[in-house]
Amino acid sequence: MSTYANEYRRSIDQPEAFWAEQARRIPWFTPPNTILQYDDSGHARWYVDGELNICHAALDHHVEQGRGDQPAVLWDSPVTGGKRTLTFVEMRDQVAQFAGALKGLGVEKGDRVVIYMPMVPEALIAMYACARLGAVHSVVFGGFAPHELAVRIEDAAPKVVVAASCGVEVDRVIPYKPIIDQAMVQSTHRPDACVILQRQQQPAELGPIDHDWAALVEQAAPADCVPVKGCDPLYVLYTSGTTGKPKGVVRDTGGYAVALHYSMETIYDMAPGEVFFSASDVGWVVGHSYIVYAPLLRGCTSVVYEGKPVRTPDAGAFWRLISEYQVKSFFTAPTAFRAIKKEDPAGKLLAQYDISCLKALFLAGERLDPPTFHWLDDMLAVPVIDHWWQTETGWPIAANLQGLELMPTKAGSATVPVPGFDVQILNREGQQAGPLQQGSVVIAQPMPPGCLVGVWGDPQRFNSAYMAAYPGYYLTGDGGYFDEDGYLFIMGRTDDVINIAGHRLSTGEMEEVVGSHPAVAECAVIGIHDALKGQLPVGLVIPKDGFDGDELALEEELIALVRERIGPVACFKQVLVVDKLPKTRSGKILRKLLRTIADGKEYGIPSTIDDPASLQDVHEVMVHREVGAAHASRQV
Ligand code: COA
Ligand code: AMP
């Protein structure tokens, strides 16, 4: 049996023994006796009686082990011109100091803290400071609008909000304070305090509950690590589901720490002292796991990048960072490389840098499309690894395991299930699909350590959203298949979730916003293929009877409304007013068919359609308005 096959079998056949062994690799205050337990709903709980603190495991422990002077964080910000190095000692001390500041504001174990910050070291400091106190952080991505922030504040009910005065995009400074103020107005929950990191690009005017980060820290006494149970929550991270209300994915502490540590070694092949660079954002799960926690847990250095793959200043930015910081493993989303490829197709900028330090390139967030894979594979002398995962799992479900046994790559495949994940494909009837048969990708219970342990404030939603479809299995929401060699191909979501530039968004949520406009009678938002961002949303709208306004003006208003309610990150820039939406006789909008047309594929008229003419009408409007590749679509 190959090394991978052996490890994988052991993880599935003897999960407790396997994960007991892995748990010994991280420092606990009290090592767990109970490795795996099931709660009343049958969900796996790992290490319930172990005691640890992830901040201790990632910072204090490494200082105690003699890594104090090694850089923990290398911050590089071409948008502000800033660069900073923070060693493990400096991180530990600054985190302890900020934890003291939060403690002074009344934050205790179990309290929530919402963090709304750009890619600055203080974002990591704030997250670790919460962890140090046993408080639960909930980081909100800076590209979300006040309404989205308000929804999260309402749901998480934080004692304190920690924010920066502004974020800096390529072409503009985004003041965060007005966004926070509006969110506070929209939410019925009132935090006790708000801590603002003043950035020189645009300092904020402070209000009655606001505290200046620097002044607060100066007066604070450093706080020690509070021991928490292995199953205690570390964070809540909201992600798009199929409804307008985002799901607060709850992550535990012990299982997460063990899983991340294991992944750093087995998947990413990282040893202590080496440099890891994940070009994501702390607002996403990739940022939580592979910018903030995993590299430091493993004693590695993490590059924190406040910039873009292109335009800051050019498409050579990643190559510069890899070379300058001697990065061993690099991780980003395929969309970033599509942007680079567009500007530098021949890789001329790559030739300017020595990136011989790089040993592997990892991609996730969306499927690594074969053209981008081949472009990278031809250009780089290292493995180009597509790996598949989601906010809910917190770490990769399928990958080519660089640190265990590298397999031959197949373009379009995320390779094989990672040890711990019993991945299966089920058909509509719930039966196992054979090789090459597409179906729902599910994970048999128990899920390995590190995966979600609940939906914040809504225990039923864990069951209804993930466990109800196929009892005994976690529903990933993705469709896909295994080939004859056991390689897994993930082909896209089977629900209303779409993936825009590696960002997960819900068309259902966009529909709710569009439908809330007083002039809209009915609408559908579909995700269509986009060569750069993977997918883009398009809205189809029927105005209310009697609407006699300007249709183009209505379209503009709807675009502005989604930007205002969800945020610029939704990239909602195309709306079409139509007379009718194609529906089944039972009234279900034929969204999949609309997507097929917009993507320029052949389509047939389903027998269940209520009014075939409505489909032709929408097709004509799409062609006229140059939506996607609708012009190439053909009815067969
Ligand atoms: N704060 C405020 N606004 C933000 C933001 C943030 N943190 N991040 C993005 N936005 C805004 C952008 O400025 C843009 O606004 P615009 O409509 O006024 O132009 C909008 O949200 C859309 O952003 P984005 O989709 O990122 O488009 P872009 O054209 O700025 O950049 C890419 C395109 C491909 C370079 C960029 O999307 C990218 O780097 N993607 C990689 C994503 C990634 O790492 N995902 C993590 C998963 S691993
Ligand atoms: P998120 O929760 O934001 O990480 O998004 C998770 C979703 O992104 C998954 O359910 C997939 O639909 C998609 N995804 C992430 N990585 C991959 C990948 N490597 N291949 C295919 N789809 C992916």
pLDDT digits (tens, 9 = 90+) for 127-172: 999 999 999 999 999 999 999 999 999 999 999 999 999 999 999 9
Residue 489 has pLDDT above 80, yes or no: yes
Mutate to test the pocket of ligand 1, among 80, 285, 335, 337 (most ligand atoms within 8 A of CB): 335
Token pair of 78, please? 């071409």
Contact of 483 with 436, CB cutoff 8 Å: yes
Least confident of 176-185, 289-298, 583-592: 583-592
Residues 455 and 573 in one domain: no
pLDDT at 175: 97
Q: Provide the β-strand partners of residue 211.
A: 195
- Both 448 and 509 in one domain: the answer is no
pLDDT at 1: 76
Same domain for 457 and 566? no
Residue nearest to atom 8 of ligand 1 (CA): 143
Nearest ligand 2 atom, CA 480 = 21
User: 506 φ, ψ to 5°?
Assistant: -110, 125
Among the ranges given (41-45, 192-196, 205-209), the one the predictor scored with the smallest mean pLDDT: 41-45
In a domain, 529, yes or no: yes
Is the predicted pLDDT of residue 440 greater than 80, yes or no? yes
Identify whether 289 is part of a domain. yes
Mean pLDDT of 198-202: 98
Question: Rounded to the nearest whole angstrom, what is the distance from the C-alpha of residue 594 to the centroid of ligand 1?
Answer: 26
Cα 430 to Cα 422: distance, rounded to the nearest angstrom? 16
343 within domain boundaries: no
Domain with 15, as residue range(s), is 3-307+387-481
For range 40-67, the mean pLDDT? 96
> Are the C-beta atoms of 239 and 504 separated by less than 8 Å?
yes
Q: How confident is the model at residue 431 (pLDDT cuts 50, 70, 90)?
A: very high
**DSSP letters along 3-29, please?**
HHHHHHHHHHH-HHHHHHHHHTTS--S
- Residue 126 belongs to what H/E stretch? helix 121-133
Please indicate, yes or no, if residue 91 is contained in any of the structural domains: yes
Query: What letter would DSSP give residue 431?
Result: P
At residue 240, the pLDDT reads: 84
| SS3 sequence of 170-212 | CCCEEECHHHHHHHHHHCCCCCCEEEEECCCCCCCCCCCCEEE
The pLDDT assigned to 42 comes to 86
Confidence at residue 156, expressed as pLDDT on a 0 to 100 scale = 98
H or E element that contains 48:
none
Q: How far is CA 45 from CA 32, 42, 174, 231, 413, in A?
A: 12, 9, 41, 7, 30
| Separation CA 458–CA 474 (nearest Å) | 17
Cβ < 6 Å from ligand 1: which residues?
142-143, 167, 169, 174, 279-280, 284, 286, 308-310, 332-333, 335-336, 339, 364-365, 501-503, 568-569, 571
Token pair for residue 204? 């904020």
Question: For the residues 46-52, what does the mean pLDDT come to?
Answer: 98
pLDDT of residue 546: 92
**Same domain (yes/no): 237, 290:** yes
Domain check: are 474 and 507 in the same one? Answer: no
Inform me whether the pLDDT recorded for 241 exceeds 80: no
The whole-angstrom separation of Cα 325 and Cα 303 is 8
Look at residue 2 and tell me whether its pLDDT is greater than 90.
no
Cis peptide before 313 (omega within 30 of 0): yes
Specify whether 564 is located in the same domain as 453: no
Is residue 332 one of the residues assigned to a domain?
no
- Please give the Cα distance from 516 to 387 (Å, whole number): 38
Same domain as 217, residue 153: yes
338-361: string of b/e by CB count within 10 Å (b at 16+)?
Answer: bbbbeebeebebbeebebebbbbb
Higher pLDDT, 315 or 508: 315
Are 510 and 465 in a shared domain? no
Q: Write out the E strands in 90-246.
A: 112-116, 136-139, 160-164, 166-168, 173-175, 193-197, 210-212, 228-229, 233-239
Structural domain count, the chain: 2
Provide mean pLDDT across the span 378-401: 97
What is the mean pLDDT of the segment spanning 201-221? Answer: 98
Same domain membership, residue 50 and residue 141: yes
CA of 541 to the centre of ligand 1 (A): 26
Tell me which amino acid residue 472 is. G
**pLDDT reading at 459 higher than 90:** no
Residue 243 has pLDDT above 80, yes or no: no
pLDDT-derived band at 212, boundaries 50, 70, 90: very high
Mark which of 481, 516, 541 sits at the end of a domain. 481
563 and 475 in a single domain? The answer is no
Residue-wise pLDDT for 509-544, tens only, equals 999 999 999 999 999 999 999 999 999 999 999 999
Label residue 400 by pLDDT band (50, 70, 90). Answer: very high
SS3 for 584-607, per residue? ECCCCECHHHHHHHHCCCEECCCC
Q: How many angstroms separate the alpha carbon of residue 488 from the centre of ligand 2? A: 13
615 within 8 A of 609, measured Cβ to Cβ = yes
Burial-class residue 52 by CB neighbours within 10 Å (0-12, 13-18, 19+). Answer: buried
Are 401 and 464 contained in the same domain? yes
Q: How far is CA 65 from CA 26, 54, 61, in A?
A: 13, 16, 6
Between residues 440 and 428, the one the model is more confident about: 440
447 with 225: CB under 8 angstroms? Answer: no
CA dist., res. 280 & res. 303, Å (int): 10
Task: Specify the CATH number for the domain of residue 521.
Answer: 3.30.300.30
**Location of structure tokens 């799409």:** 622
Mutational pocket test of ligand 2: of 504, 507, 569, the residue with most ligand atoms within 8 Å of the beta carbon: 504
Q: Residue 191 domain-assigned?
A: yes
> Which CATH number characterizes residue 454's domain?
3.40.50.12780
Q: State how far the Cα of 160 lies from the Cα of 454, in Å rounded to an integer.
A: 22
Average pLDDT on 233-251 reads 89
User: Does residue 430 sit in the same domain as residue 466?
Assistant: yes
Check whether the bond before 233 is cis (ω within 30° of 0). no
Query: Tokens representing 473?
Result: 């299995």
How many angstroms separate the alpha carbon of residue 501 from the centre of ligand 1? 7
Q: Is residue 320 part of a domain?
A: no
**Domain finish residue from 426, 452, 481:** 481
CA 310 / ligand 2 centre spacing (Å)? 22
Residues 439, 440, 444: CA angle, nearest 5 degrees = 125
- Residue 392: inside a domain: yes
Residue 543 bridge partners (DSSP): 520
Ligand nearest to the CA of 396: 2
The percent of residues in the chain predicted with pLDDT above 90, rounded, is 95
Ligand 2 is surrounded, with C-beta below 6 A, by 239, 285, 364-367, 386-391, 414, 476-478, 490, 493, 499, 504
- Average model confidence (pLDDT) across the chain: 96
Q: Per-residue pLDDT tens for 536-569? A: 999 999 999 999 999 999 999 999 999 999 999 9
User: What's 79's DSSP letter?
Assistant: T
